[in-house]
Structure formats: structure tokens, C-alpha cells
A and B are shown apart, each in its own frame.
Chain A
Amino acid sequence: MRLLLVEDELEIQSFVKQSLMDAGYEVHAAEDGNTAALLAAKHVYHGMIVDLGLPDRDGIDLILQLRKSGVTSPVLILSARRSVDDRVKGLELGGDDYLTKPFAIAELLARMRNLLRRNSPHTEDASRLRVRDLELDMLKRRATRGDEVLNLSPQEFVLLEYLCRHAGRVVTRSMLLTEVWGMRIQPDTNVVDVHIYRLRGKIDTEGREPLIKTLRGIGYVLKGS
């Protein structure tokens, strides 16, 4: 998959590019809005990572211009600004995502994957979610592992649902906070970890293969099929 990275700080650009390439993406990098616009006219990108503070124009203007010219690929916005522009909020509603600097590479990768997947059409039975021997009945809000019915609280069910939908990929704590709890906060304490810990206690009971894996300093992965 080909990505466009628009970032004027070369130090940041280089390690982001490297990490994306390590993750298996093909990356084109641009240092300013005009180069980015030219590249976007020449190639088709599956996703874009755009810094808001470009030397020649505002990143938002670039995104809006690309959108106008028919580019629909999802955008991950990088921002060193303190307040979130209303237009960024608009883009967020439109399915794009934003990340404030400084960010964890893992966070960036996780969000980018999330965006790319969101954009690809997926054929999924809306009422049932299956990951290995884990099955979620979305209508009855009931989860089973194998033959065993899991006794989950509504909150835990939503959390598990999110993990299942992102099975096989890293989800970070802040992704969970935003998507599951709907808040952009950075708690001083390990509140998210405790939720995962409890969920794990109900799913990965003794004698079963552990499904939820912790990536230290990064987040969690639910093992995919």
C-alpha cells in the first residue's frame, strides 16, 4: 500500500517514513504543500499523513484542496498546535483522524492501519463477530468463547467488540479511550490497563490460549484468526 507523508521537519519525516516502510508500506514523502499536491496528482495513495504546519500553506487547506480534486483516501493529521481547529474536527467527523505531537510511532501506525481498514470495504456479518473461538452476538450483546458464555458487563462487551474489530492489530490506550469511552484524555493512572486486565481474566481463563496480548509501552493486540 502506498502512503503520502507530508512533513516539513526532516528529522520527524525520516523516522516516520522509516517506521512506515518497516511496517511494509510504500512511502512518498513531501516537505511542503505544493510538492504534496503534485505528488497526489501523479499517484494514487491509499492513505496520507499530513502535518498541519507546512511552510507554504496550512495542512488543512492542502487536505481540503485534495478532497476537492477527488482524492478520497483517509488522512491522518499531525498537529503540534494546542487547540483543535474546527475544520480538523470536521475532517475527524468525515472519517479522518488526528494525532498531536509528540506521538508514539506505534500509535501512528495503529491509527493509520485503522484508517486504511476503515476505508476498505469489508464484508462482515453485522450481527455476529468471530475471532478464533471467540464469538460476539451483536444483537443479544452476548459473548461466548468456545461453548462457554462469557459474563461481561456492557462496558466490557464494548471493549471486547472494539478489540475484535481490530483483531490482529495494535490498539493503543488512547485509541481505546477515544473510541470506547469517547474521551480524549491522558490519565495519570493505568485505568485502561485495569479494564483490559479484567477482560482478560474473563476471556483468557486457565487452560485456554491467551488471546489478549500486551505490548509494553504501546498497547494491546487481540490475536487474529
Chain B
Amino acid sequence: MSSKEANAIMRSAAWRISLWASLAFAIGTMLVFAMLHRFVADDIQRRSDAWLSGEVEVLGDVAKRTPKDRLYRRVVGEIAELASREVPNRQRSSGNENDAVFFLQAGDSGPAKLWVGSGDGVANLAAIRSTRVLPDVPFDVRVLGFGTPFRVASVRIEDGSNVYLGLSERDELHVLRNLRVRFLTLWVAIVLLGFVIVFYATWKMLGRVSEITAAASRIGQSDLSSRVPDTPGNDEIGHLARTLNHMLDRIENTVHQLHTITDSLAHDLRSPLTAIRGKLETALASDVREDHAESIVSAIDELDRLTEFLNTSLDVAEAKADALRLSRTEVDLDALVRGMIDLYEPSMSEKGLGVQIRSSGSVKVFADPALLHRVIANLLDNELKHLPASFLVCISLRADDHTATLIVEDNGPGFDAEIGRHLFQRRVKGRVSRGHGLGLAFVEAVVRVHGGCVTAVNRHEGGAQLTVTLPLCEAQKQEESHALALLNG
């Protein structure tokens, strides 16, 4: 798996959900285990304490009753030895020597009176004496040289000495450690397995959401006919898909209605316009007086302007409703703008305007070339109509990561302050303009339908600046391939 894919997975919601779910599961099971562990540890201790207390009682009794003669050491020693063998399932640390149990009889001070166990017992006695002891309650003693502490029960006999019986906690700790190790291994396995299962399930589930997203993003790019895949099942995602499709039906319907209205409006207006224009032309062709001809020609001009207004008006209306029909292809903005400048340059220099282009090569966008032609023609027409002679129009084109930016600026007087704010609204035009005032509204609408935006400002150093941004071809493709990847993933 490449790091890119890994990144994509780590950023996915499925990853985060499974991470949190696994964390909650892990903490929960850990708490339960901790309680169980404590319970088991307490129980083991209770059992060994009970044994110790009983045994030390017996040994104390024996020590008390046995006459303090030559044989005392042997008798008590033997019994202690026997008692230590009673400890069930004892594991020896090394060799046969029993270092798990010791018996010790000693006074409050001085050397031990009797020692049964491995070694000489000096360390044990020292450890016991340095421990604060509560009578009749077994206590823990750490003895130098032993890894594990001893549990020691004591009883005081009449001659003033204490009888201690110590039992190494090695075995208990060993059992508990075993328990912990096994649990932890199993725990890690279960948490990992749980993570994988949760991740798989949510990934699958969210995959369906991604399908819906991908379909919705396709639809967003003006393909209103496609639908979100209808998932079987009556769950939330199925509902989402159905709701979305239902909504799309309604949108498609509305857009279709809008198209029908604008189309029939266009058709119904164009036919009589055609007939009127034809009649005017026929009239012009026949012999008419010069002054009549003038008015007919001007009527034809007005008619053409009306037609153009009708067309642009409907385009703007459709574009504002996001319903403009686009036939997109890969367009090189650089070539398109240069072609446009070739067309406009003579008119500009004829009027005394300079024009220059700054571009560092091809900039590909996925757009409708006919509409882009009209957009740029509009911008240049604007400059040509409104900029006084001897100023300079500068057109710069550049491509950033995802967007193409086209800036048309001049060093002229700039936009009128009064119309500056309403520049992109319909029917806004300068006092001197003879156009229908739709130009920039059209530009804005078309650019927006293409997923870009237009801004207009007066430059600090003077002059108007119009900036058009459009998404780059690659960005668009990447978005699509990303959507597709989600779809297939």
C-alpha cells in the first residue's frame, strides 16, 4: 500500500470510528480484568493466610508443649519440616531445597532459637524484625536475597519468643503473572480483531455513503440525469440514497421545466422576430426613399440588439438557476485568449489603446469553449467601449495548484463608484454604455456555472481590474478520480 492510500485510510471516518470503538472496548475490558485480577489475588491471599495462621498456631502449640531439652530442636524442626511439605503444589525455585517455606523461632532480640528452611535465616530474621508487625495478622516481609516477598504469620509463645512461619509469595505472584500475561495476549488479539471487524464494517457502510457522495458530485457537474445507486436494505443509508434521489427528481424536474420555459420563450419570440426582420429587409431591398431606408436600418439594428438581449437574458437566467447547458471539452485558455486578442487588437490600437498579454503557456480548463469565447469577448468589448484612448489593457493568465486565473486590468479611470457594488447585476451599465447592461452579469453567471468566480475592483494605482478564476482541468479530473476511487474502494 502506498503512503498516499495509507493517508487516505487514516483520514477516513471509518478509521476514526474504529479507533474510538476499539479504544472504548479496550478500556472497558481492561477495567473488568483489573477487578477480576484483584478478586483472584485477594482470594489467593486469603487462602494462604488461612493456612499460615492455622499452621503457625499448631507450630506455636508444638513449640510450647515440647520440653526445652536437647530434643526440642529436632522435634519442632521435624514438625515444621512436615508442615512445610503440606503446602500443596509447591514449585521449587532451584534444586530440591525448599526455599518456599521457613520456620523461625526467635526472641525479640538476639539470634534465632530455631531455624528450619534454606540458608541460615539471618536475613529472614533481620527482615522480620525490621517490619512492623500486627499481632495475629499475617504480614509481608521482604527478605534480602529473595526476589519475592514472604507472607509471614506469627504467634507468641510463653517463653517470650515468637514463632514465625513464612511462606513465599512466589507462587501466588507467579499464578497472577501467568493470568496477566495470558489475559494481555488475548486482550491485544481481541482488541485488534475487534478493530479490524469494526473497521471493515464501517468501511463497507461508509463506502455506500461515498458512492452517494461520488454520484452527487457527478450530478453537481451538470449531469442531472444520473442517480445515486439505490442500496438495498431499509437502513439509514438506504433512506439517505432514496431521499437524495427523490430530491434529484425534483431538481431535474424543475430544471427541465426551466429549460422548457426558456426554450419556448426563445422559440416563441424568435419566430416573430425573424418574420419582422425578414419583412424589414424585404422592404429595404425594394426601392425606398433614403430617409426611410435609414429608419429601417436602425429598426433592424434595434431588433438585433433585442435578440441579443433576449439570448443573453435567458442564458443568465439559466446560469443563475445552475441550469445552463454546457458542452464541455478541454480548452486551452492561453490559446483561446490569444485568439481573442488577435481579433480585438486592431480595434484597440485603432482606438489608441494598448493591449498586452502575460501568460507562461498553456492553461487547460474543462469548459464550454463557445461560452468562454463570449465571456472574453464581453470583457474585451467592455474595455473597448469604456476605456478612453491612450490607456493600456493588460491581460494576464496563470495557473495555480487547482485554479486558472485570468486578470483583465487597465490603467484607466476604473469603475464608477456608484455602480461598483452592483457590477454583476443585470441591467447595470455606465451612463455612456449603449449595451443592454447584461455583459458582466453574463460573465459572472457563466463563470460560476463553470465552478469559478469573478471579482471586480478598482486598483490602488488606478484602473479597473477584473479577475476570473476557473478550476483547472487536472483539478477537475482529480476530483472525479477521487470520487471514482471512493466509489471503487
Contact = CB atoms under 8 A, between A and B. Distances in A.
Nearest to A100: B270
A101 B282 contact: no
A82 B263 contact: yes
B37 interface: no
A185 B374 contact: yes
Given A181-B339, A181-B343, A104 B277 contact: yes
Nearest to B350: A194
Given A80-B266, A155-B342, A185-B374, A16 B278 contact: yes
B267 A80 contact: yes
A186 interface: yes
B311 A102 contact: no
Contact of B384 (A53, A80, A101, A189): A189
Interface stretch (B138-146, B218-226, B300-308, B477-485): B300-308
B297 interface: yes
B346 A198 contact: yes
Interface stretch (A7-15, A28-36, A111-119): A7-15
B347 interface: yes
B146 to A, nearest CB: 93
Contact of A12 (B271, B307, B370, B378): B271
B279 interface: yes
A184 B370 contact: yes
A190 interface: yes
Interface string A1-44: 00000000101100110110010000000000000000000000
B278 A80 contact: no
Interface residues of A, number: 42
B347 A103 contact: no
Contact of B342 (A103, A181, A187, A198): A181
A104 B373 CA distance: 22
B385 A188 contact: yes
A83 to B, nearest CB: 5
B330 interface: no
Given A15-B278, A18-B282, A216-B297, A102 B263 contact: no
B49 interface: no
Contacts of B304: 102
B347 A102 contact: no
B377 interface: yes
A183 B373 contact: yes
Which of the listed residues A12, A100, A187 has the most CB atoms from chain B within 10 Å of its own CB?
A187
Contacts of B297: 216-217
Contacts, number: 115
Nearest to B268: A80
Contact of A101 (B273, B325, B339): B273
Contacts of B370: 183-185
Interface in A155-169: 155
B238 interface: no
A53 B262 CA distance: 15
Interface string B257-293: 0000011001100110111111101100100000000
A191 interface: yes
Interface string A93-113: 000000011111110000000
Contact of A80 (B274, B276, B303): B274
A105 B278 contact: yes
A90 interface: no
Contacts of A188: 377-378, 381, 385, 435, 439
A184 B267 CA distance: 20
Given A80-B271, A181-B339, A181-B343, A189 B381 contact: yes
A19 B373 contact: no
A12 B300 contact: no
A85 B278 CA distance: 25
Contacts of A53: 267
B344 interface: yes
Contacts of A15: 275, 278-279, 281-282
A207 interface: no
A62 B315 CA distance: 28
A27 B287 CA distance: 24
Interface string B115-141: 000000000000000000000000000
Interface in A39-90: 53, 80-84, 86
B217 interface: no
B472 interface: no
Contact of B347 (A12, A19, A194): A194
Interface string A178-217: 0001111111111110110110000000000000000011
Contacts of B339: 181-183
B282 A102 contact: no
Given A12-B271, A101-B270, A102-B274, 11 more contacts: A11-B279, A12-B275, A15-B278, A15-B281, A18-B282, A80-B270, A81-B266, A84-B327, A102-B303, A105-B285, A185-B374
10 contacts: A9-B274, A12-B278, A82-B263, A82-B266, A101-B270, A104-B277, A183-B373, A185-B374, A188-B435, A191-B344
Interface of A: 9, 11-12, 15-16, 18-19, 22, 53, 80-84, 86, 100-106, 155, 177, 181-192, 194-195, 197-198, 216-217
Closest 4 CB pairs of A and B: A15-B278, A102-B274, A11-B275, A80-B270
